[in-house]
Structure 1
Amino acid sequence: MIFFVGLTYAELTSAMPQCGGEHVFSYKALGPLGSFICTWMIVLGYVGVVCFEACALPTIVAYIYPDFLAGYLYTVAGFDIYASWLAVAILVSVFITAINIIGTKTAAILQTILTVIIGGVGILLIAASALTGTVSNLEGQLFMGATTTDMVKGTLAVAVMTPFYFIGFDVIPQAAEEISVSLQKIGRILILSIVLAVLFYALIIFGVGYVMNHAEIAVAMKGVGGLVTADAMAVAFGSSIMAKVLIIGGLCGIITSWNSFLIGGSRAMYSMAESYMIPRIFAKLHDKYKTPVNALLLIGLLSIIAPFFGKKMLVWVVDAGNFGCCVAYCMVAISFVILRKKAPDMARPYKVSHYKLVGALAILMSGFMVVMYVVPGSGATLVPQEWGMVLGWSILGVLFGLYCKAQYGSKFATHIDVALDNEAVEEAGDLAFGQAMAAALQNVESDAPVTYVSQPLSFSFSMPVSVVFGAGKRHMAGELLKSYGTKALVVTDSATNGRDLVREVEKSLNDAGISVTRFAHVTGKSLDITANSAVDEIKKDGSNFIVAIGSNTVMEGAKMIARTAASALNQAVMPLTFVPTDYHSGACFDASLPDGSCDKALLAKVVIVDPECMTGMSQKERAVSGFAALSECISAYTAADAQPLTDAMALYAIDILNDKLTAVCTNHADKGAWEKVVLAGVIGSMVAAETGSQVAKGLAQAVAKTSFPADEVLLAAIVPVVIDAKAGKDPFLYGKLARTMGGFTSDDCAARLCYLAKALHLDLRIADMGVHEDDIANMAEAYIGEEATEEIKERAASLEAAFNS
């Protein structure tokens, strides 16, 4: 059953690779109600795993240290509950939940290490059993029961529990958007994971039965922990110590499963909350760690409650979780068949052959499992405690659904369709994958030949501006610039003129034997008149290179002076060197002038980036410049002509700005954080110059037909709307961007930008300028140079509402 269900998942995951898995598949095929039921049921399965692990861990501890049980409290279904048993379960539940909220970056490494340990311990048991076991032990174990009816019931009782142990494959569609593998191979990996799990479980079961007979197993079942596999390990090696070794593998399995399914369950709830299916409170991300904190807390709370019902809870949560799994599996299988009819042209990088047979078997088998849970006397019927869990969870879902329908109205169950266009299907970061394994799975794919396309990398990168970065570098200006001449014209403005940094730069120049003439009359207006005045100074003092100290305006003024001097004096353009006082100074890295002209000779020879020169920025300037730099990086990363080097630089800077900009703007950051934000701001200017995607151009377009000035504060209103309108068109690109900013899927990009803008108080500045909802929509359209669309207007209204809430 799991194999056929897995085939349906494999096709759908490759066709709709968005975080959320069942939520995405069922929505497209069955609509909002079907999607709600399907996703809510799979979350029940996830919650079941988490609660199972919460009960399993103290059970294992009791097996290793029987004397650890102390402080008898009460008895549930024949199992004695001890205070120490509960304490261990609760403390670890709190710890695992806290770890997931923190979202430590070592989680992936930890999962890999622990999984290797699990596999290694299992292989030890299998190998030892094969060497020391005997076929005679299998007698009386193949089927339990005196009659055929008893055997069938016994088999079904076991069979209906097994979906719970295969739910791990569902992590793949949940995280498909994050997996750096071709879409075809995501489908293969999913099927391969099921095949290997079947082999692993089967060999473990065979190993236990091969080394212990049914009487020994019955005795082991009545032991302190009832952990038969651990006892089998001890028998196979003839040492009780080896039982402890297997227990270590068991503990590793508990931690990996607990961690994985807490993440998976919270992500599924987050996906539902993002679609307004359950309260939006579950879409809240932690302010610092950017994890779905409320969804994690709910599942964590349930894992704390579960141990209070004792060891019997292990069986109850397995059966209740299985019911949820099988309902979801059946609905996904139905979605698979419907979409083959409803959307035959949908791109399917991994396409299953004989879909009617596969779909029918998946529906019938998973549907049969669901029926077995309901029909009395089937051998698998849910007991009252299990029905209590299923019905309680269902009632909670109904209450959530009714509340959200009333609260959010037309937004209820809104969802972005992320099915791929045929033209968009391409290899996405192909990882090494065993050719033998791939060949072994060819028979479950379509008859169409598999082709592997590897697009050659082809791009050009040019960064002709030399950058010297570091605190105190202004004191080295003389040594850094002495090769450009012996007489420098220091260009600045009235705001910078009185600052110590100008005198410090001039002192460094003098110490290197360079004479200095200061010109502190640059303004944002009449640059041509200003340039003529500066040329008079150059004629008088014979300056042979320029040192510009200040903001973008000063840099542009220096360029104008250099070009005017070259024309007036009939000579080559004087070398330009810059010392910016604003970390978003795009003029340092391009050769353009305010009039739109461009001359490569106007590129700076050296840009001295000294973070200490920028500490004079006000909080508002830091926020506006930082958000502008972030917008530059996003524009460069999503640009049509983006390239690997600018992508790497942009994502690095986005991560810094998202993480540290708020603290820098509120003076709550240390020197290291300040320096990183300055670096990120500079990177924003660099990648914008390289890709030609400067936000200043878009901003000028946006305000061209309005009465608003081209103030960079407007970017906080415009950019989220633009990104939200574009994100659904490339869920891979924007999904990665969202995760860099602390979200999960492409849907989160705009929300993360809005969150940051609000934290920087830029939304209040926008309101002060008199910008309203219609203005934002119109400016967003002008920003991207596209005709007015209802989509942009709707998204602008939605984000405006989010700003005001």
Structure 2
Amino acid sequence: MEKKKSEFDKVFSAWDILVIAFGAMIGWGWVVSSGDWIARGGVLGAALGFAIGGVMIFFVGLTYAELTAAMPQCGGEHVFSYKAMGPIGSYICTWAIILGYVSVVCFEACALPTIVTYIYPGFLKGYLYTVAGFDVYASWLAVAIVVAGFITYINVRGAKTAATLQTVLTVIIGGVGILLIVASAVTGDIGNLQGQLFVGNTAGGILKTTMSVALVTPFFFIGFDVIPQAAEEINVPLKKIGKIMILSIVLAVSFYALIIIGVGYIMSASDIVASQSGSGLVTADAMGKAFNSSIMAKVLIVGGMCGIVTSWNSFLIGGSRAMYSMAESYMIPRVFVKLHDKYKTPTNALYLIGGLSMIAPFFGRKMLVWIVDAGNFGCCLAYCMVAISFVILRTKAPEMARPYRVKNYKLVGAVAILMSGLMVAMYAIPNSGCTLVWQEWVMAGGWSVLGVIFCIVCKLKYKEKFGSHIDVALDEDEVYVRDDVDEALEAALATAGTAEEAADLTSKEAARPSMDFSYFLPVNIVFGWGKARQAGELTKPYGRKALIVTGKSSAKKSGLYDKVKQSLDAAGIASELYDQVAQNPLTTTAEDGAAFARASGCDCVVAIGGGSIMDCAKAIAFLAVNEGDVNDYIFNRKTSDRALPLVLIPTTCGTGSEGNGFAVLTNPETGDKKSLRCNAIVAKVSIVDPECMTTMPKKVLASVGFDALCHSMEAYTSKIAQPFTDALCEYAMGLIADNLVDVYRGSEDKSAWEKITLASTIGGMVINTAGVTLAHGMEHPASGLKDIVHGKGLAALTPVVIEASYKGDHFKYAKIARIFGGVTAEDCAAKIRTLIFNLDLTCRLSELGLTESDIPWMAENCMKVSAAGVANNPVVFTQDEIGEIYRRAM
């Protein structure tokens, strides 16, 4: 499937998306409407009504949570409905929610200066005209336009800047709300609740009035849906995106319910009636009464004003991303697909919506109320279509990766469709309390007509491109860099996982036997810049004529071959060149090289190159003094402890072949890729010179660097790991975590190159003792079959293998996750995907030339050639289970 790389910067942390959603939902309604809610259902009835309404929206939120984590792409609803219903369904859904977003942004531009008049009654200056009974003043317009311009500017400057503003304002809102709740507990009187706990004299009457509150509450929870709109910009593990979305709904429900109870505890029924006939701001008056101060009432109003801006800000983010996604699919003019060169924000969409918010105040507040009601209708319609998409995709795409998977999806989907459908119906049902008036139907109809026009024009202009969609590479790759502000939130979300790991660790520690191991590795490492120039001196003790083994060109192009040959010559060592080694060396190449070595009278072997060259050189050194078929030695049908002395000079920092007695070879007849193993092919000297690494192409560095990491990760989690290998693995993984991406991106820091080179050598050393596990075991059949780049094969397989294996050793996988910035074992695969993404290695097996039809052979071959790796894995899988893991990596 064709994919593209995301054009957005991933800047939103877990905290950012929580405050964006929560800030959008709490808004201003809790300041102006609490008296109405209490009058309608009573204090406890209204609070219960919000809880019931929260349950309604919770089910819709669950569908969003699963779909957002499964398809974290800009546009949210646009992508969900496209996958389920196709282009037309997607067009209707996205066009509807854009109306909702734009209407709220425009309304808030009018609401803010209106609230200023509550605080400063003399604020209104320069009467201009009246629209639908609303007086428009110059000062009122000026504040609306200036603030609209400011918020638009903030959003253009970058999503992170907008999120910072959202955080500050949401903290103010939360602080003011908490202050009211605490004050109510201290200064309130339980007697104030008398006669206003519920409205109604019978159980049926109480239920009816409570439900009347519940039916209007969903409209106060609109806002959590902004999260999927900006999903491509979220820097959080996919599973946690769903959890945070649900958490935002729970927090909003709790906030509203506690505010209602707090107001009722402070204000008696007569106080509320008096407040409603006076300022109309019952919550603000409750704050004033709690502190016996009119100033504190204004403080609460300021908190409410912050709520206006948080909703405004959130819906500007959501609306602009929805427009971008439609433009990207050629559904509306392509001008809206433009991103800011520096800040990576959809500038033209932001300018349009921001411009509309500057124009809107000229039409007065009453007209904007009509637009908002029409917009809420659009949001609810989109909710219903998303809920339907949720059910369709569970049937249509059951194999889709769902990091946040909802249980009992049929029940959840049915309730979500029913509830959101009810919300849509309420706008049409007479006397429902939400019925649209004729002006609002005109606006909704006008928006629909505009959508039809756009649809027809764009379909004619863009032809077959209309409604096209390309997934971004982030569909299945979580890119997450930990933010310090996320610490507390991450801890809260991960509590269950951490507790599980702690219990698992405790039980394992109790069952773990006493230490019993042996460690032997006869390797001589000579490490340092420029050490390759000492090749002759270091080789001299081991022979008089060396076979120099290289690839076909790289060692010559870099000049390293000439340096080594000159050093050998200076030491009086004659040499012959064998330069026929290619990627994934073949057994036949090793046999040919050994015959050449014998014919040339060579008594030692010097290898210059990456893992393939070193592995083939080892096999050549072995076969030069051992008779018979190399495959007999590979499969342990024959054994020998003899080989020509070896001197290895690695030029890539990945395989670590210079640090072990392995030589991985591929049999061209059978496709078996398996290693020859014996201590005789451990190098007499491994000259590890970081300077030799600096000539690698970037794509080679990425591949071998990831291979080096896999060696340490697999040896660390291997069932035959031991204290020495664990210590080396942890050290090497830390070196890679801190340096590989910087080196890949062009850092010339010698220290960073040294650390990556050292980590590679350590990786080779630890697998000599602790072995590799399933990722390498599964990659060998893949590259043996298709001759793919080893590091790319590992990049496709490793995260999927980790997801399948981490439960076998929570403690060690959590340790790896923490080395790379995560917290729990569940974070490990996401952290490794982040590294893969940053190294531009993101791929699937299908993109490397493998198909579903190859899986049975690969699974069978894995059990044949990689039995030790399968057995060493923290979870031992059957052949069928390995086949399924291959399938997930496709």
Give the secondary-structure state (helix, strand or coil) at the position aligned to 2:695: coil
Q: Cα distance, 1:523 vs. partner?
A: 0.6
CA contact (8 A) 1:655 1:741 kept: no
Distance in structure 2 (CA, Å) of the matches to 1:733 and 1:395: 49
Q: Give the aligned partner of residue 701 of structure 1.
A: 785
Q: Deviations over 1:704-740 (max 9, x none)?
A: xxxxxx6869x99x999999x99xx9xx999988877
Cα separation, partners in 2 of 1:13 and 1:52, compared to 1, 3 Å: same
2:632 equivalent to 1:555: no
Which of 93, 96, 103 in structure 1 is aligned with 2:155? 96
2:448 equivalent to 1:390: no
CA contact (8 A) 1:580 1:609 kept: yes
Percentage identity across paired residues of the two chains: 36
Which of 38, 41, 63 in structure 1 is aligned with 2:96? 41
Give the secondary-structure state (helix, strand or coil) at the position aligned to 1:496: helix
Cα separation, partners in 2 of 1:399 and 1:676, compared to 1, 3 Å: farther
Q: Give the aligned partner of residue 328 of structure 1.
A: 382
In the alignment, residue 41 of structure 1 is paired with which amino acid? A
1:54-203 equivalence runs, <5 A: 77-80=134-137, 81-83=140-142, 85-100=144-159, 115=170, 117-129=172-184, 131-132=186-187, 162-170=217-225, 192-193=250-251, 195-203=253-261
Which of 695, 709, 713 in structure 2 is aligned with 1:616? 695
Q: Cα distance, 1:124 vs. partner?
A: 0.8
Structure 2 segments unaligned to the other structure (5+ residues): 1-51, 200-208, 476-488, 513-517, 582-588, 628-639, 667-673, 805-826, 860-890
2:653 equivalent to 1:598: no
Distance in structure 2 (CA, Å) of the matches to 1:492 and 1:650: 30
Q: Cα distance, 1:559 vs. partner?
A: 1.9
Cα separation, partners in 2 of 1:655 and 1:317, compared to 1, 3 Å: farther
Q: Give the aligned partner of residue 70 of structure 2.
A: 18
Cα separation, partners in 2 of 1:558 and 1:735, compared to 1, 3 Å: closer
Distance in structure 1 (CA, Å) of the matches to 2:115 and 2:608: 68
Give the secondary-structure state (helix, strand or coil) at the position aligned to 1:326: helix
Give the secondary-structure state (helix, strand or coil) at the position aligned to 1:167: coil
Give the secondary-structure state (helix, strand or coil) at the position aligned to 1:671: coil
Distance in structure 2 (CA, Å) of the matches to 1:675 and 1:630: 15
Cα separation, partners in 2 of 1:637 and 1:111, compared to 1, 3 Å: farther
1:756-767 equivalence runs, <5 A: none
Distance in structure 2 (CA, Å) of the matches to 1:57 and 1:693: 62
Structure 1 segments unaligned to the other structure (5+ residues): 145-153, 222-226, 419-428, 438-450, 703-709, 744-748, 755-772, 788-805
2:657 equivalent to 1:580: no
In the alignment, residue 327 of structure 1 is paired with which amino acid? L
Q: Cα distance, 1:781 vs. partner?
A: 6.5
CA contact (8 A) 2:384 2:420 kept: yes
Distance in structure 2 (CA, Å) of the matches to 1:631 and 1:778: 20
Q: Give the aligned partner of residue 444 of structure 1.
A: none
Query: Which is further off, 74-83 or 320-329?
Result: 74-83
Distance in structure 1 (CA, Å) of the matches to 2:261 and 2:616: 76
In the alignment, residue 298 of structure 1 is paired with which amino acid? A
Q: Cα distance, 1:307 vs. partner?
A: 3.4
Give the secondary-structure state (helix, strand or coil) at the position aligned to 1:592: strand
Q: Cα distance, 1:236 vs. partner?
A: 3.2
In the alignment, residue 373 of structure 2 is paired with which amino acid? D
1:214-253 equivalence runs, <5 A: 214-216=273-275, 220=279, 229=283, 232-239=286-293, 242=296, 246=300, 249-250=303-304, 253=307
Cα separation, partners in 2 of 1:14 and 1:85, compared to 1, 3 Å: closer
In the alignment, residue 496 of structure 1 is paired with which amino acid? A
Q: Cα distance, 1:692 vs. partner?
A: 1.5
Distance in structure 1 (CA, Å) of the matches to 2:238 and 2:520: 33
Q: Cα distance, 1:298 vs. partner?
A: 1.9
In the alignment, residue 196 of structure 1 is paired with which amino acid? S
In the alignment, residue 622 of structure 1 is paired with which amino acid? K
Name the Cα RMSD after superposition.
Answer: 7.4
Distance in structure 2 (CA, Å) of the matches to 1:248 and 1:502: 74
CA contact (8 A) 1:531 1:564 kept: yes
CA contact (8 A) 2:646 2:685 kept: yes
Q: Cα distance, 1:278 vs. partner?
A: 3.7
Distance in structure 1 (CA, Å) of the matches to 2:275 and 2:108: 26
Q: Deviations over 1:622-655 (max 9, x none)?
A: 34664787799999999xx999999999999899
Q: Deviations over 1:193-251 (max 9, x none)?
A: 56425414534654785596555555546xxxxx7755653453244664575467446
Cα separation, partners in 2 of 1:499 and 1:651, compared to 1, 3 Å: closer
Cα separation, partners in 2 of 1:736 and 1:400, compared to 1, 3 Å: farther
2:600 equivalent to 1:524: no
2:742 equivalent to 1:671: no
Give the secondary-structure state (helix, strand or coil) at the position aligned to 1:126: helix
CA contact (8 A) 2:718 2:772 kept: no
Distance in structure 1 (CA, Å) of the matches to 2:418 and 2:86: 22
Q: Give the aligned partner of residue 792 of structure 1.
A: none
TM-score (norm: length of structure 1): 0.58
Q: Cα distance, 1:306 vs. partner?
A: 1.2
Cα separation, partners in 2 of 1:25 and 1:501, compared to 1, 3 Å: closer
Q: Cα distance, 1:304 vs. partner?
A: 4.1
Distance in structure 1 (CA, Å) of the matches to 2:836 and 2:781: 24
In the alignment, residue 148 of structure 2 is paired with which amino acid? A
CA contact (8 A) 1:492 1:549 kept: yes
Cα separation, partners in 2 of 1:116 and 1:628, compared to 1, 3 Å: same
2:382 equivalent to 1:305: no
Cα separation, partners in 2 of 1:637 and 1:539, compared to 1, 3 Å: closer
Distance in structure 1 (CA, Å) of the matches to 2:383 and 2:707: 42
In the alignment, residue 199 of structure 1 is paired with which amino acid? A
Distance in structure 1 (CA, Å) of the matches to 2:688 and 2:117: 61
CA contact (8 A) 1:129 1:208 kept: yes
Query: Which is further off, 241-250 or 23-32?
Result: 23-32
Distance in structure 2 (CA, Å) of the matches to 1:340 and 1:780: 22
Give the secondary-structure state (helix, strand or coil) at the position aligned to 1:692: helix
Aligned residue-pair number:
685
Distance in structure 2 (CA, Å) of the matches to 1:606 and 1:252: 69
In the alignment, residue 57 of structure 2 is paired with which amino acid? G
Give the secondary-structure state (helix, strand or coil) at the position aligned to 1:521: strand
Distance in structure 2 (CA, Å) of the matches to 1:455 and 1:657: 32
Query: Which is further off, 380-389 or 40-49?
Result: 380-389
Cα separation, partners in 2 of 1:191 and 1:712, compared to 1, 3 Å: closer
Q: Cα distance, 1:166 vs. partner?
A: 0.6
Cα separation, partners in 2 of 1:197 and 1:586, compared to 1, 3 Å: same
Q: Deviations over 1:126-152 (max 9, x none)?
A: 2324555679999999999xxxxxxxx
Distance in structure 2 (CA, Å) of the matches to 1:5 and 1:680: 56
Cα separation, partners in 2 of 1:169 and 1:558, compared to 1, 3 Å: same
Give the secondary-structure state (helix, strand or coil) at the position aligned to 1:96: helix
Cα separation, partners in 2 of 1:594 and 1:117, compared to 1, 3 Å: same
Give the secondary-structure state (helix, strand or coil) at the position aligned to 1:92: helix
Distance in structure 1 (CA, Å) of the matches to 2:128 and 2:523: 69
1:435-474 equivalence runs, <5 A: 473-474=528-529
CA contact (8 A) 1:137 1:214 kept: no
TM-score (norm: length of structure 2): 0.54
1:431-510 equivalence runs, <5 A: 473-475=528-530, 493=550, 496=555
